A and B are shown apart, each in its own frame.
Chain A
């Protein structure tokens, strides 16, 4: 399986701390991939390694079959919106579009102008005086009008209010649907990604905890509630991701490929948010019980 991003044993060390380590993953083509994890989990590091803004300390990463930022042609295929959506504060909106046109051979000026018009941005306004949402939209426009094959977005909606968030994601999805772009976007909030992602990677403490298609993840996880029970007595093939117990009751979040037949349990499906939170909680960090579903290496 070849992916838009393939990482193998990828690690990045800053002085003495590892921001990312032992990261091996394949991000499939044509997906909208959510990269979730708590703050400091290594999401930004992974995305910056994929853009070539950082070079790995260990391991390798290839993006669209080439090392990141290997050539102007490779750069042209990858659109990136960095965290906090940096733009040139003293340059006007129109100047940003001119920059895009001058520095990108595949620039789609019609797309850029149309988006700026739809967003109601004044081309004469200086980027420094835009609101957070407008700035994010400008940065997204610059990345989209490159007409990249792969779009990397680092917490693009983190600083936006709920309305601007929805608007941003909606315009992103429109553009993605129109051009068939692969997207990897990070967030520490699952709710942001739930509506738009079809593939999910959970990154915790600089390691990939789980990665897979959203439908497959949801189909393979169940919540069990019933009388108190020691989780080690579960049949083989039911891996406990998260457990909580009261004196009389146990609630487990398990992964299984088989239907659960034990009549003692009340079986309910899990939401993506529950699933991600279960994987992000420290208790789930039991190596024997977390074979990495869907990770091709």
Chain B
């Protein structure tokens, strides 16, 4: 069955290998690791991110969605399932072989793009080095996991719709929704964030007050290299975010000017309030923990979908 799956998959594998080789050549030529090329390839940097998000989607719709739906559509499943091989083995080998190829493709691509982009990643052009929402999903391990998931999703939807074209459309829509949902609603909760409370450093604050209530507003900056900051608040010693009335020194005069910063009198007045800075964040050191966790989640989902496909083919499709 492995040889037969490979026979059916060969053409797609060759296409993928050729595309991969082309990417490697382009990136090798334009490597920013060589000083001469540094900074000439901003659009290639963006393209690298786009490619790593497109790869799972493309593999999902071109390898995943037609994998079984095409057999159902053209009736060849009746040929395949009357050979001397169990359906479970048929689906396991087909899924396993193609999934491995998909993950290898995504893994190699991610490896090359991550390597190529590393000097520019460190210059942080998109803000929030490495743990940033956009960059994180297009580096290192996560594309491998999301590709496995997109592939299994395509196969599953294809199995349920029994038609390749609707399966492509539906699985693409679901995968796009997952790509949006994961950084927004899943990733922030994977590891409980760190919460630090420190006394407010008066040198970095900007001060405002609202009209007409005169309630005090103080904001400050946070400088934790590589961190993914969820929130950065200034509170009273008791932890309340409403800071009470603004001191008189901070209302009159140019204190409110956002550019000039508070006057020393205002600063001293705020110092007497003993305010705290509360920062909730994920340290940059957790990058690999996040990578492994998110990849594991994608792989687990892919395995669940594959298990569902096997069960469906074995138990439901003949009903």
Contacts and interface: CB of A to CB of B under 8 A. Distances in A.
A91 B81 CA distance: 17
Given A75-B83, A80-B82, A87-B79, A103 B4 contact: yes
A82 interface: yes
Task: Give the residue among B4, B11, B83, B85 with the most A Cβ atoms within 10 A.
Answer: B83
Interface string B79-90: 101111111000
B79 A105 contact: no
Contacts of B82: 51, 53, 69, 75, 78-80, 82, 143
Interface of A: 48, 51-55, 69, 71-73, 75-76, 78-80, 82-84, 86-91, 95, 98-100, 102-106, 139, 142-143, 146
Which 4 residue pairs are nearest across A and B when measured between Cβ atoms? Answer: A76-B84, A103-B83, A86-B75, A82-B78
Interface in B1-50: 1, 3-4, 7-8, 11
Task: Give the residue among B3, B79, B81, B86 with the most A Cβ atoms within 10 A.
Answer: B79
B318 A55 contact: yes
Nearest to A52: B318
Given A54-B318, A102-B1, A103-B1, A72 B85 contact: yes
A80 B76 CA distance: 12
A71 B86 contact: yes
A69 B314 CA distance: 11
Nearest to A96: B79
A52 B81 CA distance: 9
Contacts, number: 77
B319 interface: yes
A79 to B, nearest CB: 8
A84 B75 contact: yes
* Contact-residue bracket for chain B: 20 to 34
A103 B2 CA distance: 10
B78 A103 contact: no
Secondary structure at chain B's binding surface: helix, strand, loop or mixed?
A: loop
Contacts of B1: 102-103
Nearest to B7: A95
A142 B75 CA distance: 16
Interface in B72-130: 74-76, 78-79, 81-87
Contacts of A80: 78, 82
B86 A72 contact: yes
B84 A106 contact: yes
Contact of B84 (A52, A75, A98, A139): A75
A64 to B, nearest CB: 13
Nearest to B86: A72
A67 to B, nearest CB: 12
Contacts of B79: 82, 86-88, 139, 142
B84 A88 contact: no
A99 B4 contact: yes
Contact of A103 (B74, B85, B319): B85
Contacts of B81: 51-53, 69
A160 B74 CA distance: 19
A82 B77 CA distance: 10
Contacts of A95: 7
Nearest to B89: A72
27 contacts: A51-B81, A51-B82, A53-B81, A54-B319, A69-B82, A69-B87, A75-B84, A78-B82, A80-B82, A82-B75, A82-B78, A82-B79, A83-B75, A86-B76, A86-B78, A86-B79, A87-B79, A88-B8, A95-B7, A98-B3, A99-B7, A104-B83, A105-B84, A142-B79, A143-B82, A146-B83, A146-B84
A10 to B, nearest CB: 14
Nearest to A104: B84
B8 A91 contact: yes
A254 to B, nearest CB: 41
Contacts of A142: 79
A98 B7 contact: yes
Contacts of B11: 90
B84 A99 contact: no
Nearest to A78: B82
A152 to B, nearest CB: 9
A100 B83 contact: yes
B159 to A, nearest CB: 16
Contact of A53 (B7, B84, B318): B318
B62 to A, nearest CB: 14
A102 B4 CA distance: 7
Task: Give the residue among A48, A80, A102, A139 with the most B Cβ atoms within 10 A.
Answer: A102
Contacts of A105: 84
A100 B4 CA distance: 9
Contacts of B74: 86, 89
A99 B75 contact: no
Nearest to B87: A69
A213 B203 CA distance: 104
B12 to A, nearest CB: 11
Contacts of B7: 91, 95, 98-99
B4 A53 contact: no
A292 B102 CA distance: 57
Nearest to A152: B82
Task: Give the residue among B7, B75, B82 with the most A Cβ atoms within 10 A.
Answer: B82
Interface in B159-173: none
B3 A102 contact: yes
Given A80-B78, A103-B1, A55 B319 contact: yes
